[in-house]
Structure 1
Amino acid sequence: MIIVLDTNVLVAGLLSPFGTCGEIVRMVSGGMLTLCLDARIITEYAEVLARPKFRFDQEKVAALLDQIEACGIAVAPAPLADPLPDPDDEPFLEVAIAGGAECLVTGNHAHFPPSLCQGVIVLSPAKFIEFYRNRQRM
């Protein structure tokens, strides 16, 4: 399944590896999910994960980002026709649309009005896990 992963989910997954977000990060690392991305998303991941407040092992972060880039699908998205409430979220939706991602997984569900999502399903981490498991049962 191809998805776009908002930075907040990646951070939460690394902070709580046994929680819902951690499960999603493990699914990405294990190849069960393929991330759709572009340079803006990788840059944001790297910048946020480098923040001292998180105290992440930067060698492990670099390895994870290398894996995400190597296994992900890079796209060159077009700008959205209409802006999102938070312009910082626009790259994630642009990439999801351009890459044909089935879902955009985010902790900021309200930042993505359905009328602007062009068929991309925007789900919280918990709802995504439920969606994924239901899909696997089919």
Structure 2
Amino acid sequence: MRVFLDTNIVVSGVITPNGSPGRILHALRERRFELVSCVELAEEIVSVFGRPKIRQRYPHAVEALEQILALLLSETSMVVCQAGPLPTISDPADAVLLARAAAGGADYFVSGDKSDLLALDMYQNIKIVSAVQFLEILGENPVS
């Protein structure tokens, strides 16, 4: 199964490794699914962790971030091109990520964005799910 993880899932997983997003990152390390990613996602993750408030509040996350970025850039199907028009949603950055997921043939797009992405439910052939829903798909008992 091919999966695209939204920025908020990766960031939350790095910050809180025992929560649902963290357990998804653990499943990724175990290669329980194939990750579809793109340069824009890596750039957005680096931008979030570059914020002074985040760096000060979560200094332990820097090492974990480096490991996740290495995984994102080496063990994934990186999508460079964009297929078709961007979806119509309020956040242009999310629209780009969703278009990249579609171009990469993702089966699932995992996000914590309830107002925009999760409200879509589907985009092209991609099922948009929460971290808890994705853990259930993996056959795990989710942690809230």
The TM-score bracket by the shorter chain reads 0.7 to 0.9
Runs of at least 5 residues in structure 2 that lack an aligned partner in the other structure: none
Q: Which of the two has greater helix per residue?
A: 1
Residues in 1 aligned to 2:52 and 2:70: alpha-carbon distance in whole angstroms: 20
Residues in 2 aligned to 1:49 and 1:14: alpha-carbon distance in whole angstroms: 10
Corresponding residue number in structure 2 for 1:42: 42
Kindly provide the CA deviation profile for residues 39-88 of structure 1, in whole angstroms up to 9, marking residues without a partner as x. 11111111112323233443442232012110010112235354212212
Give the match's secondary structure for 1:83. Answer: coil
Root-mean-square deviation (CA, aligned residues, Å) is 2.1
Does structure 1 residue 99 correspond to structure 2 residue 121? no
Q: How many residues are paired up?
A: 134
Aligned with residue 137 of structure 2, among 124, 131, 134: 131
Residues in 2 aligned to 1:124 and 1:59: alpha-carbon distance in whole angstroms: 26
Runs of at least 5 residues in structure 1 that lack an aligned partner in the other structure: none
Deviates more, 1:2-11 or 1:54-63: 54-63
Aligned with residue 70 of structure 2, among 66, 71, 80: 66
Identity %: 27
Give TM-score, length-normalised by structure 2. 0.81
